[in-house]
Amino acid sequence: MNKTQSKPENAGNTCQTSANPARTWSPPPFIENPTLRWGLLLGLAIYLFLSIGSLDVNWNRIYEGLDRGAKFIFGFMNPNFAGRWTDISEGMIESLVMTVTSTALGIAISIPIGFGAARNLAPLPVYLFCRGVIALSRSFQEIIVAILFVAIFGFGPLAGVLTLSFATIGFLSKLLAEDIESIDKSQAEAVQATGSKWWQWLNYGIQPQIMPRLIGLSLYRLDINFRESAVVGLVGAGGIGATLNTAFDRYEYDTAAAILILIIGIVMLSEYISGYIRKGVQ
**Which residues make Cβ contacts (< 8 Å) with residue 205, sequence separation at least 6?**
187, 188, 189, 190, 191, 192, 196
Q: Is 2 helix (H, G, I), strand (E, B) or coil?
A: helix
How many beta carbons lie within 10 A of that of residue 44, not counting itself? 10
CA 48, 54, 56 angle in degrees (round to 5)?
135
Judged by CB under 8 A, the stretch of 13-21, 108-116, 200-208, 219-227 that binds another protein is 200-208
Q: At 130, which amino acid appears?
A: C
User: In the stretch 126-145, what mask flags binding to another protein with x, by CB under 8 A?
Assistant: --------------------
Question: Interface with another protein includes 277 (CB under 8 A)?
Answer: no
Nearer to another protein, 187 or 246 (CB): 187
Question: Interface with another protein includes 194 (CB under 8 A)?
Answer: yes
Q: How many chain residues bind another protein (CB under 8 A)?
A: 22
Judged by CB under 8 A, the stretch of 70-78, 126-134, 147-155, 194-202 that binds another protein is 194-202
Q: Tell me how many helices (H) and strands (E) the chain has.
A: 13, 0
Q: What is the rounded CA–CA span in Å between residue 141 and residue 231? A: 11
Question: Interface with another protein includes 186 (CB under 8 A)?
Answer: yes
User: In the stretch 145-184, what mask flags binding to another protein with x, by CB under 8 A?
Assistant: ---------------------------------------x
